[in-house]
Amino acid sequence: ATEASTSTDIDPTSSSEASEMEAKSAAKRWVPDSGFYLERFGKAGEELPVSGAWLYNSAVRPVPLPSVCLKLLILPVFWFLSVLFHRQQRNLMMDWKVPGEPGQEVTLARTLPGGWQVAINAACVVVLSGYAMSAYIFHQKILDNVLNPLFTPRTHTRHVAISVLMFAISIGSSFFLTENWVPAAAGLFMFFGYAICGRTIQSSSSGRGQIGLGPSRSQDDVGMSFHTHGPCPESGVQQGKCVKATLLGGELGVGQAGGELRFASVQLDPFAVADDAVLVEISPSGACTYRGPCGRANIFRLDCLLVLLLSFGLHLPQFIIGGGGFNQCAGVVELVVSLIYIPVGYTCFAVFGFRVGLTCRWSMMVVLVLCLWPVINLVLGGKGCATLTDLVSQAFLPQIWDPHATTFQFNRGFAACTESAYAVGGETLLVASTTIAAWVHIMSNFSFLFGFLSGMSQMAFSKAEVQKVSIA
């Protein structure tokens, strides 16, 4: 709470400069703060108030989370439905002769004794599956220690740097969907994870309508708790300047003044497309004080939406075709990219699917419209579940569990990729690459499908009243 609170030190020389900067900004403004790109206010290198945004990602609870037991009961149902969807999708694509490579069979010699190779195959499946499930189980620690600082950095320069990197990954990956689908798709969704879990923060904002991004520097808001100079008790509470907000769930403890800390969703403009949120402290008397910004998801910036359109949007047909099991390329690239992506993707989609994506109507629209829920999630979930099912059931590699075989057939993806992977790591690399590639989209899409469905059901049948407050 202390880190997220705004400063109360007043710089007497800054008022005229702030007024002049505000006037110039208002004269040229045609979209909200950071609505088109990440804007910078204040001195270069100045640290941004990101603590509230980190806390928001980690602790906001718009609805109660489903229990672990319920998730374990739903997972087999998700698996069955996803595989069934994938089978139908692939059969239709084969009947319609969709362009792309469904899989070329290659016959190769085993380089290890059969018993040893079967044992190594089993170890690959078990260990890599354990790695994926561990990333899902410990996604909260990954978020707190890695992704929050990475996707919502403390300085504007780092914000710009991670944005440029993610933009490059997304656009670059989209051109390889027909050559090596799994790494390309992972690149696209790594960018999407950044867009939904990274949050835009400013050192200050243009006015009370943008205080989710940072404290207001507007002279009209002087004396209010959400002004850059902090509250001014002498001026009293001016009701006309209060900001209406909706309280969100989440255990935050006690604030610096002894009140209850809460998250609040702010939407001063009913037509604003954003999920702006703030950290507030509610005193025993009911007074609501601003303690810091929680930011706005990057997906609501137009530059992120433009990159999403240029990468995912323009290449949607190739993406869907690959989701049907076409254009696969087992090998080192698929293995390494999948290992890197899984902790990132699982964490982002678990956080957004079960919590952050349910905080306001615009976050839910991201799931329904931009993610084409539930179709895309069934395509991807089906691709992952069916790939692992086919590997274990000997559809891709009939000799995977045969200790007496001296040769083996492999029919997943391009023959050139299979031969190249075999030259590097033999049958072991083919099994390892296929296993981890299967897990790339399993639990992330489980989170989006079950998390969103669970959250919407609880909202529809919950009798809890919406709590409104006025931030003074």
d(CA 195, CA 212): 17
Could you report the per-residue pLDDT of 37-71, keeping only the tens digit for each?
898 887 777 899 999 999 999 999 999 999 999 99
**Weakest mean pLDDT among 253-262, 328-337, 397-406:** 253-262
Query: How does residue 12 score in pLDDT terms, banded at 50, 70 and 90?
Result: very low
Q: Which of 16, 48, 121 is nearest to 397 (CA)?
A: 121
Q: What's the chain's Rg over C-alpha atoms?
A: 25
> Residue 409 has which token pair?
């057939």
Q: State the Cα angle at 348 between 345 and 352, rounded to 5°.
A: 135
H/E segment holding residue 128: helix 114-137
CB 47 within 8 A of CB 314: no
Higher pLDDT, 271 or 104: 104
- Please give the pLDDT value at position 157: 93
**Preceding omega of 374 cis (within 30 degrees of 0):** yes
- Please give the pLDDT value at position 13: 42
φ, ψ (nearest 5 deg) of residue 222: -60, 135
> Residue 419 has which token pair?
């031969």
Burial of 61 (0-12, 13-18, 19+ CB in 10 A): middle
Q: Which of 296, 387, 318 is nearest to 35 (CA)?
A: 296
* pTM check: above 0.75: yes
> Can you spell out the DSSP letters for 137-204?
HTHHHHIIIIIHHHHS-SBHHHHHHHHHHHHHHHHHHHTTTTT-HHHHHHHHHHHHHHHHHSEE--SS
Higher pLDDT, 187 or 20: 187
pLDDT of residue 113 exceeding 50, the answer is yes
- Please give the pLDDT value at position 4: 40
pLDDT of residue 319 exceeding 50, the answer is yes
DSSP-based three-state secondary structure for 237: coil
- Please give the pLDDT value at position 371: 83
Alpha-helix residue ranges (DSSP H) falling in 393-451: 415-439, 442-446
pLDDT of residue 9 exceeding 50, the answer is no
